[in-house]
Amino acid sequence: PLQRSRWPHEIVCPCLFVFEAPSSFLAAMQNITALGPKNPWTANLLSALGIMHFSNEEIKETFNVLTDGADSIDKARVFELLKTAFGFEPMPEEMGLFVSVLQLEEEGDVSWAELEAAFDQIRETLTGVSKNASEYTSIQDMKDDLIKHRRLRKDPMDKFKAPMTEAQAIGWHEEEVFNERFPKNSCPETKYADEMIKCRLEPF
């Protein structure tokens, strides 16, 4: 039977049990990805690339498997190395960094020491990029810029991989815009009547 509790307008059912969920269960619930990332702003930063989430030791394990213990790997297999180590394909922006740092457009092999140095260099670069997302560290500075209508130091494309709002989606890729003009075309009779009106004469 239902019982009245000591609080008004509250009914307690004896068949219900209140229990405290273990911390492991709560942690698992927080890892649900069907609803998207926990913080979409940080997940969409330019610095949120695979190399920032994997250590050199973790990539080294995959390196040893692919090379059978050798000390170098073909540059053409660097993409395969990263894909296997990450568990997903690296983004084009990330591969662009590896191509420029390791000169992957050239043929040849790359040693683990060179890869490790490239990983550290790219992480250092991305750490600097992540700081672009923080425009202010002082609320007073932000208020001063709002009052004086100062522009932000970094554009959204310098911070995020994709537009975070519908307003940012317009012109995100800086596509060429064509403004088609529709000039006003008047017939000779209309032009004649306009000139008469300008002279303060009655055209009709």
Beta bridge partners of 11: 4
Residue 10 to residue 4: CA distance in whole angstroms: 7
Instruction: List, for residues 9-28, the tens digit of each pLDDT value.
Output: 444 445 444 444 455 444 44
C-alpha to C-alpha distances, 99 to 43, 169, 175, nearest whole angstrom? 23, 28, 26
Q: Quickly list DSSP for 45-73.
A: BTT--GGGTS-HHHHHHHHHHHHTT-SEE
Instruction: List, for residues 129-178, the tens digit of each pLDDT value.
Output: 777 777 778 889 888 888 888 887 777 777 777 788 888 887 776 656 66
Q: Is the pLDDT confidence value at 122 over 50? A: yes
CB atoms within 10 A of CB 90: 20
Q: Tell me the CB-side half-sphere exposure of residue 196, using CA atoms within 13 A.
A: 10
